[in-house]
Structure 1
Amino acid sequence: MKLRITRKTVVRRLRQAGMVLLGLVLLFFILNWIFPVPDKVEYSTVITDNKGEPIHAFLTRDDKWRMKTELDEISPLLRKTIIAKEDKYFYSHPGINAGAVFRALFKNIIRFKRTSGASTITMQVARALEPRPRNLLSKIIESFRALQLELKYSKNEILQLYLNLVPYGGNIEGVKAASLLYFKKNPDHLSLAEITALSIIPNRPSSLVIGRNNDRIITERNRWLQQFADEKIFTQKEIADALAEPLDAQRGQVPRYVPHLSNLFRHSQAPLIETTIDLNAQLKTEKLVEDYIRTQRLRNIKNAAVVIVDNRTHKIITYVGSSNFYDSLDGGQVNGVKAIRQPGSTLKPLLYGVCFDEGLLTPKTTLTDVPIMYDGYAPENYDKKFHGKVTVEYALEQSLNIPAVKSLQQLTHEKFIQTLILCNFKQVQKDQRKLGLSLILGGCGTSLEELTGQFSIFANNGLYIKPGFLQRDSVQAKTRILSTAANFMVNEILSKVNRPDFPLNWTATERMPKIAWKTGTSYGRRDAWSIGYNTHYTIGVWVGNFSGVGAADLNGSGIATPLLFKIFNTIDYNNDKEWFSPPADIDFRTVCSETGLTPSANCTNLVTDYFVPLISSTKTCDHLREVAVSINEKISYCKACVPESGFKKKMYKYAEPDMIAWYEENKLSYDKIPPHNPDCELIFKGSAPVIQSPVSGTEYLISKKHPEPLQLSCKAANDVTTVYWYVNNKFFKSSLATEKQFFIPEEGSNKISCTDDKGRNRDIKIMVKYVDL
Structure 2
Amino acid sequence: MKLSTKYFPKTRTRKIIFVSAVILISFLLLDLLFPFNPNVQYSTQITDKDGTVIHAFLSEDDKWRLYTNNNEITPLLRKTLIYKEDQYFYYHPGINLFAITRAAFRNIFTGRRTSGASTITMQVVRLLKPGPRTYFNKIIEAFRALQLELHFSKDEIVQLYFNLVPYGGNIEGIKAASLLYFGKPPQLLSLAEITALTIVPNRPSSLRPGTRNEALVLARNEWLLRFQKEGLFQKNIIKDALTEPLSIKRQYSPRQAPHLSLRLQKDFPNQPVIQTSLKIQLQRQIEEQVKNYVNRLQGLNIHNAAVMVVNNEKMEVEAYVGSADFNNPYDGGQVDGIRAVRSPGSTLKPLLYATAFDKGIITPKNVMNDVPGNFAGYEPENFDLHFNGPVTAEFALANSLNIPAVRILKQVSTSTLVGQLKKSGFQTIKKQEKDLGLSMILGGCGVTLEELTRLFASFANEGEFRPLNYLANKPKSQKPPFIVSREASFLITDILTQITRPDLPSNFDNTYHLPKIAWKTGTSYGKRDAWSIGYNKRYTVGVWVGNFSGEGVPELSGANTATPLLFSIFNSLDYNSPKGWYAVPPNVALRKVCAVSGDIPEDFCDHQITGYYIMGVSAYHKCRHLRYVFTDLQAKISYCTYCLPENNFEKRTYPNLAPELIAYYEQQKIPYKKIPPHNPRCERVFHDGAPLIVSPNEGSEYYIRKDEPQQIQLVCQPANDVQEVFWYINDKLAKRAGPNEAVFINPPLGRVKISCSDDKGRNSDMWIKVSRM
Post-superposition offset of 1:583: 2.6
- In the TM superposition, 1:416-565 aligns within 5 A as 416-476=417-477, 478-565=480-567
In the alignment, what sits opposite 1:123?
122
Q: 1:617 aligns with which of 608, 619, 624?
A: 619
Per-residue deviation at 1:634?
A: 2.5
Q: How far apart are residue 322 of structure 1 and its match? A: 0.6
Shift of 1:64: 0.8
User: 1:280-679 to 2 correspondence within 5 Å?
Assistant: 280-476=281-477, 478-573=480-575, 578-679=580-681
Residue 525 of structure 1 aligns with an amino acid whose one-letter code is: K
Deviations 1:126-159 (A, max 9, x none): 1111111112122122112212212221111111
8 Å contact kept, 1:456–1:538: yes
Q: CA deviation at 1:304?
A: 0.6
Q: 1:112: Cα distance to partner?
A: 1.2
Q: Size of the alignment, in residue pairs?
A: 769
Q: Distance in 2 between matches of 1:126 and 1:759?
A: 99
1:55 — aligned with what? 54
Q: Distance in 1 between matches of 2:103 and 2:320?
A: 57
Distance in 2, matches of 1:10 and 1:493, equals 97
Query: Which of 696, 707, 710 is matched with 2:709 structurally?
Result: 707
Q: CA deviation at 1:193?
A: 2.3
**Change over 3 Å in CA distance of 1:576–1:737 after alignment to 2:** farther
C-alpha distance 402-576 of structure 1, shift in aligned 2 (>3 A): farther
Give the drift of 1:21. 4.7
Residue of structure 2 equivalent to 1:93 = 92
Partner secondary structure for residue 106 of structure 2:
helix
SS at match of 2:297: helix
Distance of 1:769 and 1:14 partners within structure 2:
113
| Aligned residues of 1:511 and 1:574 also touching (Cα < 8 A) | no
Aligned residue for 1:416, secondary structure, equals helix
Q: How does 1:172-211 map to 2 (within 5 A)?
A: 172-211=171-210
Following superposition of structure 1 onto structure 2, how do residues 13-162 of structure 1 map, counting pairs within 5 Å?
A: 21-162=20-161
1:363, distance to aligned residue in structure 2 (A): 1.5
- Contact 1:683 1:760 (C-alpha < 8 Å) held by counterparts: yes
Q: Is the 8 A contact 1:303 1:323 kept in 2?
A: yes
Give the SS at the match of 2:621. Answer: coil
Distance 1:730 1:33 in 2: 99
Distance of 1:17 and 1:699 partners within structure 2: 104
Task: Render the CA deviation track for 1:678-723: whole Å, top value 9, x for unaligned.
Answer: 3222222322211111101111122222111211111111222222
1:723/1:51 Cα in 2 relative to 1: closer, same or farther (>3 Å)? same
- Give 1:474 shift: 2.1
Distance 1:427 1:611 in 2: 34
CA distance in 1 between partners of 2:141 and 2:755 (Å): 96
Q: Distance in 2 between matches of 1:239 and 1:508?
A: 57
Judge conservation of contact 1:512–1:575 (CA < 8 Å) in 2: no
Change (3 A) 1:380 1:214: same
TM-score by length of 2: 0.95
Cα shift readout 1:214-265 (whole Å, capped 9, x = no counterpart) = 3322222222233233333333344334334332232222221111111113
- Relative to structure 1, is the Cα distance of residues 133 and 260 closer, same or farther in structure 2, using a 3 angstrom cutoff? same
> How far 1:473 sits from its partner (Å)?
2.2
Q: Is the 8 A contact 2:277 2:473 kept in 1?
A: no
| Matched-pair contact (CA < 8 Å) for 1:513–1:575 | no
755-764 or 336-345, which deviates more: 755-764
2:391 aligned counterpart, secondary structure: strand
Counterpart code for 1:754: C
Task: Give % identity.
Answer: 50
2 CA distance for matches of 1:509 and 1:577? 22
Report the Cα offset of residue 587 of structure 1: 1.4
Deviates more, 1:744-753 or 1:621-630: 744-753
Unaligned runs of 5+ in 2: none
1:576 CA displacement: 9.3
Segments of 5+ residues of structure 1 without an aligned counterpart are: none
TM-score (norm 1): 0.95
Give the SS at the match of 2:434.
coil
Distance 1:585 1:50, change over 3 A: same
TM-superposed CA distance for 1:428, in Å, is 1.2
Question: Quick check: 2:366–2:392 contact (8 Å CA) kept in 1?
Answer: yes
| Residues 49, 278 of structure 2: 8 Å contact kept | yes
Q: Could you tell me whether the CA contact under 8 Å between 1:512 and 1:574 is conserved in 2?
A: no
* Separation in structure 1 between the aligned mates of residue 641 and residue 635 of structure 2, nearest angstrom: 16
8 Å Cα contact 2:364/2:611 also seen in 1: yes
Partners of 2:277 and 2:316 within 8 A in 1: yes
Query: What secondary structure is seen at the aligned counterpart in 1 of 2:545?
Result: strand
CA 164–576 in structure 1, closer or farther in 2 if over 3 Å, else same? closer
Cα RMSD over matched residues? 2.1
Say if 1:691 and 1:713, in contact at 8 Å, map to a contact too: yes
Matches of 1:731 and 1:306 in 2, distance apart?
62
Secondary structure of 1:59's aligned partner: coil
- Return the offset for 1:36: 2.8
Paired residue secondary structure (2:368): strand
> What's the counterpart of residue 219 of structure 1?
218
**1:35-58 CA distance string (max 9 Å, x none):** 332511011111111221111110
Q: Distance in 1 between matches of 2:174 and 2:578?
A: 48
Within-5 A mapping of 1:685-724: 685-724=687-726
Q: Supply the distance in 2 between the matched residues of 1:575 and 1:76 (Cα, whole angstroms).
A: 42
Give, in whole Å, the separation in 2 of the partners of 1:130 and 1:767. Answer: 81
Tell me, in whole angstroms, the C-alpha distance in 2 between the residues paired with 1:507 and 1:576.
24
Instruction: Quickly say closer, same or farther: Cα 1:144–1:324, change in 2 above 3 A.
Output: same
Output the CA distance in 2 between the equivalents of 1:33 and 1:766. 84
Q: 1:147 to 1:226 in 2, by over 3 A?
A: same
Q: Write the distance in 2 (CA, Å) between the matches of 1:358 and 1:55.
A: 47
Q: What is the one-letter code of the residue matched to 1:465? A: R
Q: What amino acid sits opposite 1:150 in the alignment? A: E
Letter in 1 for 2:264: F
Q: Give the deviation of 1:630 after TM superposition.
A: 2.2
Alpha-carbon distance in 2 for matches of 1:129, 1:609:
73
How big is the shift at 1:358? 1.7
